[in-house]
Structure 1
Amino acid sequence: MTELFLGILTFLTSTIAAIVGVGGGMMLIAILPSFLPINALIPVHGLTQMTSNLSRAVFGYKDVQYEVIPKFLLGSFLGIGIFASILSFISLEYVPLFIGIYILLSLWSEKFNERIKRYESYFLAGFFQTGLSIIVGATGPLTMTLLLKDYKNKDEVVATSAALMSLSHILKVFVFMYFGFVFFDYIGIIIAMVIGAIAGSWVGTKLRNIIDGKKFTIILKVLLTALAIKVIVGVFI
């Protein structure tokens, strides 16, 4: 039953991400603490999001702006190395708290987002997006702002963001494998979520230019806010 629910949930969040470019991963990471132990939260989410973003990039491969990838990838390697080295010093008990606070700040704090915008290079975006992803899970908004500035075509922004995020998640999955996380222990859940992720990417890609993105984003922000508050409260109760 859990597998079916998480498969459907991943389908919905992957569809959302394929339509507006961001939000699906944040929504998923906010709900997963209710279904997975803390030590499995970021690794399983990472593998699922790797599939979601990679399939979204494949479905929109003609729109991916490949010239930004080398600098982003270089920054990602450096970021994942540095942040992975401090991962063992972070208490997993408070990971959901970091996730909830990060979601709220990225949604509602202009000052927080302005500080992020200062790192407007694909090298630094890769460094922080990939590095921070092993702690808070979903960091898509870090590059979305930069892409929106450089590209006006919605399909180009969404497809390129998906390509960059898939690189972040691929590196993250390798890090957790290095630290000894056994993905096979959650194989049933992972298979269900991977199927949901790919199906959601396909449906969302088809719906992207049909649904009003602005109204959809407002609803998404409200849902994410409620989920983030639930996650934060859950740490203390």
Structure 2
Amino acid sequence: MLLLESLSPLSGAINLLLVMLSVFTSAFTAAVGVGGGVLMIMALAQVMPAAALIPVHGMVQLGSNVGRTAMTWRHIDRTTLAAFLPGVALGALAAAWLLVRLPAGVLELCIAAFVLFTCWGPGLPSRALGRGGVMVAGAITTLLSSLVGASGPMVAAFIKQRQAGRLAKVATFSACMLLQHLTKAFVFGVAGFVFRDWLPLMLVMVAAGFLGTWLGLHLLHRLSDHHFDALFRWALTLLALRLVWLGAQRLAGH
């Protein structure tokens, strides 16, 4: 228990629960394609100081996505990734120096509307799925990721429109999210966040995430493309509906 208590400023029991959660959420994302990051940030928000929430979540998700990317790298759409990268750089720079933010709740509702449209609407126009559209998506979602930590469903919804197979979706999504979370070390380093206090917990959660990714990918290989697409769409829809609820509550001042 002393070892667990030394991982972070939180109690040993809470640290153990977060390590176990890292296994589950990594497995969930690897198998279903999306959702683990949002589940993780919802849980962290219950026990972690607000100032540490997004940077710690970002570093843990970085490690988790490194694992998924390493295990699925043969299936990554490198064209999408190359177009996404400049947008990530622009979004990170904007996040590091942004002074004006939208009213609480607006960001969540905008993300939810985009996700629901891409899941159930007629699909994005071909121009939006081109190289320029991918770069813009990279910039916007990276900015949102640093501000609210909830851009995963939006990136996944965009990747869904460009990739056909389940392995290509998971691999390309993981690589794009790896780039986004990598920028958080820069953004929150500039903001003065001290990662040192949380480093042991982050490292153990990342190691647990590798185990979860391995388990989730084994399940993914057993799913058909049809079943995966259905799970992927409904996971995105449920996450979007949660964002609608959260955004409405924040706009109402609750």
Cα offsets for 1:151-195 (capped at 9, x unmatched): 211101110110011001001222111211111111343123212
- Tell me by how many angstroms 1:221 deviates: 5.3
Cα offsets for 1:109-143 (capped at 9, x unmatched): 439997x9475321111111211110121312333
Task: Report the CA distance shift for 1:146/1:216 in structure 2 as closer, same or farther (over 3 A).
Answer: closer
- Tell me by how many angstroms 1:223 deviates: 7.7
| Conservation of the 8 A alpha-carbon contact between 1:50 and 1:166 | yes
Give the TM-score taking structure 1 as reference length: 0.81
Query: Where do residues 146-161 of structure 1 align in structure 2 (5 Å cutoff)?
Result: 146-161=158-173
Q: Which residue of 1 aligns with 2:156?
A: 144
Distance of 1:220 and 1:145 partners within structure 2: 7
What RMSD in Å do the two structures reach over aligned CA positions? 3.2
Q: Which residue of 1 aligns with 2:222?
A: 210
Q: Which residue of 2 aligns with 1:110?
A: 117
Give the length in aligned residue pairs. 231
1:58 maps onto 2:70 in alignment: yes
Q: Which residue of 2 aligns with 1:74?
A: 86
- 1:209 aligned counterpart, secondary structure: helix
Q: Which residue of 2 aligns with 1:19?
A: 31
- Once the two structures are overlaid, the 10-residue window that deviates more, 135-144 or 179-188, is 135-144
Task: Report the CA distance shift for 1:198/1:129 in structure 2 as closer, same or farther (over 3 A).
Answer: same
- 1:39 aligned counterpart, secondary structure: helix
Distance of 1:27 and 1:144 partners within structure 2: 15
- Tell me by how many angstroms 1:145 deviates: 3.1
Q: For structure 1, which runs of at least 5 residues remain unmatched after alignment?
A: none
1:5 maps onto 2:17 in alignment: yes
Counterpart amino acid of residue 16 in structure 1 = F
Q: Report percent identity of matched pairs.
A: 30
Distance of 1:85 and 1:62 partners within structure 2: 36
- 1:22 aligned counterpart, secondary structure: coil
Distance of 2:208 and 2:155 partners within structure 1: 24
Query: Where do residues 174-193 of structure 1 align in structure 2 (5 Å cutoff)?
Result: 174-193=186-205
Counterpart amino acid of residue 110 in structure 1 = F
Q: Which residue of 2 aligns with 1:164?
A: 176
Flag the structure with higher helix content.
Answer: 1
Give the TM-score taking structure 2 as reference length: 0.76
Specify which structure has the bigger relative contact order, considering alpha-carbon pairs within 8 angstroms and separated by 6 or more residues. 1
**Pick aligned residue for 1:31 from 35, 43, 46:** 43
Distance of 2:89 and 2:183 partners within structure 1: 8
| Conservation of the 8 A alpha-carbon contact between 1:46 and 1:172 | yes
- 1:208 aligned counterpart, secondary structure: helix
**Pick aligned residue for 2:207 from 192, 195, 202:** 195
Task: Report the CA distance shift for 1:126/1:198 in structure 2 as closer, same or farther (over 3 A).
Answer: same
Counterpart amino acid of residue 62 in structure 2 = M
Q: Which residue of 1 aligns with 2:56?
A: 44
| Conservation of the 8 A alpha-carbon contact between 2:26 and 2:212 | yes
- 2:222 aligned counterpart, secondary structure: coil
